[in-house]
Amino acid sequence: MGRLRAASLLLNQIISPNIRPRIFPRPILKRIPPHPIFPSLRPFSAISSQLAELDPEVRDFAYANVSSITEVQETGSIPIKAFFLSTGIDLKSLQAENLDNVLPPTSRASNYITLEYCDFPSEIAGIGFNTKVSSSQYMVVCQYGSAVLFNVEDHDVESYLRIIRRHATGLLSEMKKDDYAVKEKPLLVEDMQGGPDFVILRSLDTDSIRLIGSLLGQSIALDYFVSQVDGMVEEFADINRIMEKSGTFTMDRKKLLQLVGKANSNLADVILKVGLFERSEIAWREAKYAQIYEYLREEYEITQRFGNLNFKLKFVEFPPLMNFREGLPLPLTGRTDDTACIPSCASQYVSVHQQ
C-alpha cells in the first residue's frame, strides 16, 4: 500500500497543471581576481612582523624557520690574520718578484701593496673569467713590517709569510698576531654592521680589503711599539729606583743615550712610517668605506692606544743628570740637544692631526 500511494502522489505532481516543477537557481559565481603564477615575495622583516599574531606554538615554529632562512643570506666568514714579523719590508723587491699577483693601487698610499692569489689557472683568469673576491686569497703587506692575510687557511699561512720574509729586514724572533673576520650578507640594509671580532659587509671588494688590511696592519704594528715602550719604561723605572736608594747616577752615558734614542725613534716610527694619523684616500672617496674606516679605528682604539704610548714615553724622563764632559746637568728629560726636538715636534704633529 505504501508503495502504491507514493507512486500515485508522484504521478499527480507530474500531471497536475497547478503545480510547477521546482527549479533550483544556478549558483552565483564571484569574479576571482587573477593571481600571478608565482606568489609575491615579501621581505623577511614583513614576515616576522606578522608572526606575533599567530598562535604561540605556530609562532615559535615560524620564527625558527624564518631565522633559518635569514641565515642562508649570510654567505660565510672570511678569516683575516694580521702579523707583525719584521721592522721593515722592501715593497719594491716584493712587487718585482710577484708582479703577476700585485693589484694595481687605487690611491696614492705608498706604504703598503696588495697581492691576490687565485685558485683558478692563469689560462682561465687570462680570458676574463670573473670570480668572486671572496674566492681568492689576498695579502696586504706594509713596509713597516706588517702583513695581513685574507681567506688563507691556517695550514697555508707559513707559505705566504715565507714569500714576505725574503724581502724583510729585522725579522722578529716572535711575531705579533691578531685574528679578525669579514662576513658577507648581500641583503644587509646598512652598508656595514659590526660584531665581536668581525664586520659584516654586503660584499667584500678589493678596496675593502685594502682599507681593512691597512688598518689591521697599523693596529698590530702599534702592539709591537707599545711592547717596546713598556720594556723601556721598566728599564727606566729600575734606574730611578737605584737613584732613589743611592742618590747617584751610575748608568753608562752611552747606554743612557741609546735608550733615549730608542724611545724617540719609536715615536717617530709610529707617526711617520706607520702613518697612524694619515687619512685614507679610499675612505675619503666613498661614504661606505669611511664608515668601515671610522668603525675599525674606534673598534681597535687606535687613538687611545697611541695616547697611552705617548704618555709612557713622557715617563722616560730623568732627574738632573751630570754631563760627564761639561760637568753640567742634562735637561730634565735626559735628552741631548740632537734628540730633544723630536718629542716636541711629534707632539705638535699629533695635536694638529687630532683636530
Q: What is the pLDDT of residue 320?
A: 39
- Give the relative orientation of helices 253-268 and 206-246 as an angle to the nearest 10 degrees: 150
Which residues of the chain fall below pLDDT 70?
1-75, 119-131, 317-355
Q: Which residues, in sequence order, are bridge partners of residue 78?
A: 182
Torsion 122-128-129-135 (CA) sign: positive
Q: What is the pLDDT of residue 219?
A: 97
DSSP 242-282: HHHHHSS--S-HHHHHHHHHHHHHHHHIIIIIS-TTPPPHH
Enumerate residues 6+ apart whose C-beta is below 8 A from 167. Answer: 89, 90, 91, 93, 94, 97
Cα–Cα nearest to 208, from 293, 83, 295, 118: 293
Q: What is the pLDDT of residue 143?
A: 97
Query: pTM value?
Result: 0.69
Residue 75 buriedness (CB in 10 A; 0-12 / 13-18 / 19+): middle
Alpha-carbon distance of 334 to 239, in angstroms, equals: 12
Q: Give alpha helix (H) positions in 130-205.
A: 157-165
Q: Element (H or E) spanning 68, and its range?
A: helix 56-73
Alpha-carbon distance of 168 to 90, in angstroms, equals: 6
Residue 124 buriedness (CB in 10 A; 0-12 / 13-18 / 19+): exposed
Q: What is the pLDDT of residue 42?
A: 43
Alpha-carbon distance of 29 to 225, in angstroms, equals: 83
